[in-house]
Amino acid sequence: MRTFSSLLLAVVLATLPPAHALWPQPRNLRTGSDKLKLSDDFKIHLEAHVPQDMLDAISRTEDFLKKDHLQRLIVGRGSSDTNALTNAKSLSELDLYLESGADANSITTEAQKPIESRDEAYTLNVPNDGSPANITASSTLGLLRGLTTFTQLWYEVDGTIYAADVPIYTHDSPAYPYRGFMLDTARNFFPVSDIKRTLDAMSLVKMNQFHWHVVDSQSFPLQIPEFMDLSIKGAYSSSSVYTPDDVKDIVAYAGARGIDVLVEIDTPGHTSVISKAYPGHIACPEATPWDIFANEPPAGQLRLASNETTNFAANLLAAVARMFPSTIFSTGGDELNANCYDQDPDTQKSLNETGRTLEQALDVFIKTTHKAIEDLGKTPVVWEEMVLKHNVTLNPNTTVLVWEKSENAKTVAQKGYKLIHAASDFFYLDCGAGSWLGASPDSPNWCDPFKTWQHSYTFNPTANLTDDEAKLVLGGQHLLWTEQSGPSNLDSIVWPRAASSAELFWSGPGGNVSHALERLHDLSFRLQQRGVKSIPLQPLWCALRPGVCDAVPHTS
């Protein structure tokens, strides 16, 4: 029988403080165990010609260092560091270097490059002797990533700001070029301030893609100058809209934080709300019983067999694409419902007149709408059905969002498409709260249970893929569909859970959840200090004692 005393050593070992609490974990990292104070006159220097958003990032970084006020997550909250701090050196300077020959583009310009040409690598070196720290990169985007890592080094005790584990050296770069978060602003509306706060949080974990599912069947909050009636008649209210200025603001805010904005206008399904402004373009608008005509209420789909509707859709997509500088644009393509078209006399007439099947008409629709995007120099992104359920002609560069189940990645890759992991069984943040449909006393939601951070974190992005197929994986993202979410629970349902995919796709798979937990606690508290309502993963008692609240393995 085990007794208390024989277990003391194990407890002591388990409660040693973590060496560092960076998130995502850098891919190469050497840390020491010295303390280093941040000097009151600490400054960040960058000699090169400096774009404005880089200057802003520097000033933001200096601000975070002063205002994070984060205490270490160890018993005593850092009071045990005070002795070591009396003799610790002070850091007065961080120097940023853009490698010779590198373009001094803005962070925004670098962040908005095609997915696979973004250069996010950086080298960070923090000596323990008080001599200047430095970050070197071959792009301003890389410098930003280095600054982000740098801000995660610092804690505060009794008014002293200090790093706990210098010297630090890392040469770091992401395992996957696409690390995203999707927000649905159509089921329920989110003010611009919520989106900006989300972008702040994304940037802290080095996510680089905000996938904005901006409109859907329920509401059309996006103001498009050429199509004003869509939002006038389709937004939840005249104030629940994103104006073109809001879009510019969000895109600029994201860009300055190293994040590109992938906007989605989901077509031809998920378009019921367009019927408010353009009834002629929508089949089965709000038809009942809704479940015959759509996966969720209200039903309504673009009349894809109609030339007029196809041209309308192409013009609409192009108008929206022109509002966003990204090189990618999502045309959606999920959950197309055939019954809706079967029972739509207008669609049947179009099909009869052209002699096309519905699938042939869909092919024309996709070719036309995608050409409108491609003519603007953009690559289409689609949900998986476009390659798994339909036989449409797609540009081979088209990028596919795998969503229904993660194992579908295999088939998408076999067909040769680049893919983004966005599967409901790993990355859907809305699952686990039961059905949101009315008149349904006690039924689960289709994607229950809740996807824990541990579950997402242990996802294998290349499971069952050959080496060649694995090269098609661009990365992945967490997603928030907002049937049961709004501004009230945006932060709490997303953070820190979504950080698990941010690390998975930056640091690469295979991370250990026990080690990750310590750092994820730290991240969650740092997010809170920055105004993001990230939630606790454990009692604070456990957060202060790494490993002590682990589940105990027992052999039977």
Residue closer to a copy of itself by CB (options 59, 492) is 492
* Residue 279 in contact with a copy of itself, rule: CB under 8 A: no
Task: Determine how β-strand 301-302 pairs with β-strand 282-283.
Answer: antiparallel
Residue closer to a copy of itself by CB (options 82, 411) is 82
H runs (alpha helix) in 187-327 = 192-204, 228-234, 244-256, 274-277, 290-293, 307-323
Is residue 335 among the annotated active site residues?
Answer: yes
Give the binding range for a copy of itself (CB under 8 A) out of 94-102, 172-180, 279-287, 403-411: 279-287
Question: Which residue is listed with tokens 């120099």?
Answer: 377
* Residue 552 in contact with a copy of itself, rule: CB under 8 A: yes
Interface with a copy of itself in residues 421-440 (CB under 8 A): 432-440
* Residue 531 in contact with a copy of itself, rule: CB under 8 A: no
Q: In angstroms, give the least distance from the CB of 513 to a copy of itself.
A: 5
Of 266, 404, 491, 522, which lies in the binding site for a copy of itself, with binding defined by CB under 8 A?
491
Q: Give the distance from CA 368 to its chain's centroid.
A: 29
Of 287, 373, 392, 502, which lies in the binding site for a copy of itself, with binding defined by CB under 8 A?
287
* Site size for a copy of itself (CB under 8 A): 84
Of 16, 84, 292, 463, which lies in the binding site for a copy of itself, with binding defined by CB under 8 A?
292
Interface with a copy of itself in residues 341-360 (CB under 8 A): 343
Q: In angstroms, give the least distance from the CB of 396 to a copy of itself.
A: 36
Q: Give the distance from CA 555 to its chain's centroid.
A: 40
Interface with a copy of itself in residues 468-487 (CB under 8 A): 482-487
Neighbours of 71 (CB within 10 A): 16
- Between the CA atoms of 128, 132, 138 and 142, what dihedral angle is there, to the nearest 10 degrees? 60
What is the amino acid identity at position 547? G
Q: In the structure encoding, which two tokens stand for residue 486, read together?
A: 């709004």
- What separation, in Å, do the N-terminal and C-terminal C-alpha atoms of the chain show? 14
* Residue 460 in contact with a copy of itself, rule: CB under 8 A: no
Of 101, 159, 289, 396, which lies in the binding site for a copy of itself, with binding defined by CB under 8 A?
289
* Residue 528 in contact with a copy of itself, rule: CB under 8 A: yes
How many angstroms separate the CA atoms of 148 and 410, rounded? 34
* Residue 446 in contact with a copy of itself, rule: CB under 8 A: no
Catalytic hit among 93, 335, 374, 483: 335
3-state secondary structure of 92: strand
Q: In the structure encoding, which two tokens stand for residue 31, read together?
A: 């840390």
Q: In the structure encoding, which two tokens stand for residue 332, read together?
A: 């959606």
Question: Which residue is listed with tokens 């197929």?
Answer: 469
Question: For a copy of itself, what does the binding mask look like between residues 60 and 79, x meaning CB under 8 A?
Answer: -----------------x--
Helix (H) or strand (E) holding 264: strand 260-267
Interface with a copy of itself in residues 16-35 (CB under 8 A): none
State the catalytic residues: 335
